[in-house]
Chains A and B, each alone.
Chain A
Amino acid sequence: MANEEKNILLSSESPFTVKEAYKMLRTNVAFSLPGSGCKCIGITSADRGDGKSTVALNLAISFAQINKKVLIMDCDMRLPTIAKKLNMEQTPGLSNYLVGTDSEEMRLIRRISPLGVDIVPAGEIPPDPTKLLESEQMIKILSTLRECYDYIFLDFPPIAVVTDAAILSKLIDGYLLIVKHNRSAFSKITETLKQLEFSDAKILGFVYNGKADSTYKYKLGKKYYYKKNYYYYK
């Protein structure tokens, strides 16, 4: 794994605030989908560059850290990034299965042992990803994989760009919408929400990505003040 990709992935080396943030997100997501059985969570955003894939990957890693069986599926067959972030081959992947060139579901799955998550990359870029996502094959693969995992995260393309994310709304237990500080536009977020609402999608909430540091530190200020004193007097 390249150093740059390694740095963005959640690990024991990640900054404290980042680890805590993902723990909190994990807790909120878990509580928002109570009950037993596999949870299929769709992750999308309003626009490209909002950090959707990174958040999806890190959230999956966070769930894996509490010994949940986690799969992350790259459903962005137009501009796939999950395999790239992990420095692995894109094919065979989801598109190969959906077009029928690879009919064995389990062969698509790559196990990333250090991270504790399983990955289904996007596969070769098809001419019509929307059609593939609407297909019976997609329903079939999801229902098969649901039996094997506690959480399945589906990384969708941004809705403001294409409506792929909304297509599977009936199969998705809930959507997380990633918004990026100082980048995501209100108008695009509104359009995204309208699309999802129109498709009867269940929206769990927003993930606010890229929050600036100063405000974040202030909230945790008291905590490190006591720590400082502890070290001083020891």
Chain B
Amino acid sequence: MYGNNRGENMEKTEEKFSGKMKEIDLISLLKFLVRNIWIILLIGILLGAASYGYTVLAIAPTYRSTFTAYVNNNSQTVRTDTSLTNADLIASQQLVKTYSHIITSKTILLASANAIGLDMSYEELLGMIVITQDEGTEIIRVSVIATSKDLAYKLNQAIAKTAPVYVEQIVEGSSMRIVDESDYPKRKFGPNTTRRTMLGIGAGILLAMFFVMLRYFTDDTVKSEKEVEEHFPYPVVGIIPDIESGGKSYDSYRYGYSDRSHTAKRRKKSNGK
């Protein structure tokens, strides 16, 4: 059984473990991840908490004020027929884009800022403006996002007053009519604390999983006697339990389930407990 044929065994040792990459056993990988679930969750929570903390403490909240306006070019509205063609839609979208460019021009933005006594550069003002179009319509929404409610509202109002005048001057035969006036921001627009926190948790979990998996793939240590027997051409002749976790706990079972047995009681009595 334990005969030693040097050449044969050397070949077997070489063959069985030739330094190839560790086989990926998905189930054992999953079990390894489950065993490390606490560290994964902990890192996720920590990163989420860090993300929350950073968002709340380091990022200033922003507020948004918006007005909506209808824009059109009179030459396009003079039609004899009532049908709407694809060309009409494209034309109106291009018109909105044109007006968006005009509204965010230096002339209008600086004029709006001056009207409320705001001393900011054009680039700073431009960074605060967002213009969107309602799909398939000639309605635009002009938003100002700022770190103060008052600033967002006042600047948005100023643009709502200034823009139509300039638009009509620049584009012959055009008009810009305010549909909804600027709204005073009731609540914070950004940052989205919940989303950032969840992203932090998610990133933490993914990062932790990556490192746990890395540890799994680089772990070259034996995990069971079965692995040893599968890898090498020699038997496992003895299995010694881990004294710290194994023998002691089993011993309490041996003396009686939950220590209620007669033997355990006799033992306790003789120990004087």
Is A207 part of the binding interface, using a Cβ–Cβ cutoff of 8 Å?
A: yes
Most buried by B among A29, A179, A186, A220: A186
Evaluate whether A204 and B237 lie within 8 angstroms (CB atoms) in the complex, with A32-B2, A185-B221, A224-B254 already known. yes
Is B256 part of the binding interface, using a Cβ–Cβ cutoff of 8 Å?
A: yes
* A8 touching B221, Cβ below 8 Å: no
Provide the residues of chain A in CB contact with B10, threshold 8 Å. 194, 197-198
* B234 touching A205, Cβ below 8 Å: yes
* A28 touching B238, Cβ below 8 Å: yes
What's the nearest-Cβ distance from chain A to residue B220, in Å? 4
* CA distance in complex: A215, B245 (Å): 11
Q: Report which of A197, A204, A210 forms a contact with B2, defined as CB distance below 8 A.
A: A204
Is B225 part of the binding interface, using a Cβ–Cβ cutoff of 8 Å?
A: yes
Is B261 part of the binding interface, using a Cβ–Cβ cutoff of 8 Å?
A: yes
* A25 touching B238, Cβ below 8 Å: yes
List B217-270 residues whose CB lies under 8 Å from chain A.
Answer: 220-225, 228-229, 231-232, 234-243, 245-251, 253-254, 256-257, 260-263
List A167-224 residues whose CB lies under 8 Å from chain B.
Answer: 174, 176-177, 179-187, 189-190, 193-194, 197-198, 200-213, 215-217, 220, 224
Provide the residues of chain B in CB contact with A193, threshold 8 Å. 9, 13, 232, 234
Provide the residues of chain A in CB contact with B241, threshold 8 Å. 15, 17-18, 21, 210-211, 213, 216
* B245 touching A206, Cβ below 8 Å: no
Provide the residues of chain B in CB contact with A209, threshold 8 Å. 240
Evaluate whether A208 and B239 lie within 8 angstroms (CB atoms) in the complex, with A174-B2, A181-B223, A231-B261 already known. yes
* Residue on B nearest A169 in the bound complex, by CB: B4
* CA distance in complex: A211, B223 (Å): 9
Provide the residues of chain B in CB contact with A17, threshold 8 Å. 241, 246-247, 250-251
Is B6 part of the binding interface, using a Cβ–Cβ cutoff of 8 Å?
A: yes
* B248 touching A24, Cβ below 8 Å: no
What's the nearest-Cβ distance from chain B to residue A116, in Å? 20
Is B1 part of the binding interface, using a Cβ–Cβ cutoff of 8 Å?
A: yes
What's the nearest-Cβ distance from chain A to residue B163, in Å? 71
* A18 touching B247, Cβ below 8 Å: yes
* A24 touching B254, Cβ below 8 Å: no
* A206 touching B236, Cβ below 8 Å: yes
Most buried by B among A17, A204, A207: A17
* B249 touching A213, Cβ below 8 Å: yes
* B250 touching A186, Cβ below 8 Å: no
* CA distance in complex: A29, B248 (Å): 26
What's the nearest-Cβ distance from chain B to residue A223, in Å? 9
* Residue on A nearest B11 in the bound complex, by CB: A197
Is B17 part of the binding interface, using a Cβ–Cβ cutoff of 8 Å?
A: yes
Is B117 part of the binding interface, using a Cβ–Cβ cutoff of 8 Å?
A: no
Is A143 part of the binding interface, using a Cβ–Cβ cutoff of 8 Å?
A: no
* B246 touching A208, Cβ below 8 Å: no
Evaluate whether A21 and B240 lie within 8 angstroms (CB atoms) in the complex, with A186-B17, A213-B250 already known. yes
* Residue on A nearest B249 in the bound complex, by CB: A213
Is B272 part of the binding interface, using a Cβ–Cβ cutoff of 8 Å?
A: no
* A231 touching B257, Cβ below 8 Å: yes
Provide the residues of chain B in CB contact with A200, threshold 8 Å. 4, 6
What's the nearest-Cβ distance from chain A to residue B217, in Å? 13
* CA distance in complex: A181, B228 (Å): 10
* B1 touching A32, Cβ below 8 Å: yes
* Residue on A nearest B265 in the bound complex, by CB: A231
What's the nearest-Cβ distance from chain B to residue A1, in Å? 16
Provide the residues of chain B in CB contact with A174, threshold 8 Å. 2
Evaluate whether A32 and B237 lie within 8 angstroms (CB atoms) in the complex, with A179-B222, A206-B232 already known. yes
* Residue on B nearest A15 in the bound complex, by CB: B247
Provide the residues of chain A in CB contact with B220, threshold 8 Å. 185-187
Q: Report which of B223, B236, B261 forms a contact with A207, defined as CB distance below 8 A.
A: B236
* Residue on B nearest A199 in the bound complex, by CB: B6
Provide the residues of chain B in CB contact with A184, threshold 8 Å. 221-222
8 closest residue pairs by CB, A with B: A15-B247, A25-B238, A213-B246, A231-B261, A205-B237, A28-B237, A208-B225, A185-B220
Can you list 16 residue pairs at the A/B interface with Cβ under 8 Å?
Answer: A15-B241, A15-B243, A17-B241, A181-B223, A197-B4, A197-B13, A201-B4, A202-B4, A206-B229, A208-B222, A208-B228, A208-B240, A210-B240, A213-B249, A216-B239, A217-B253
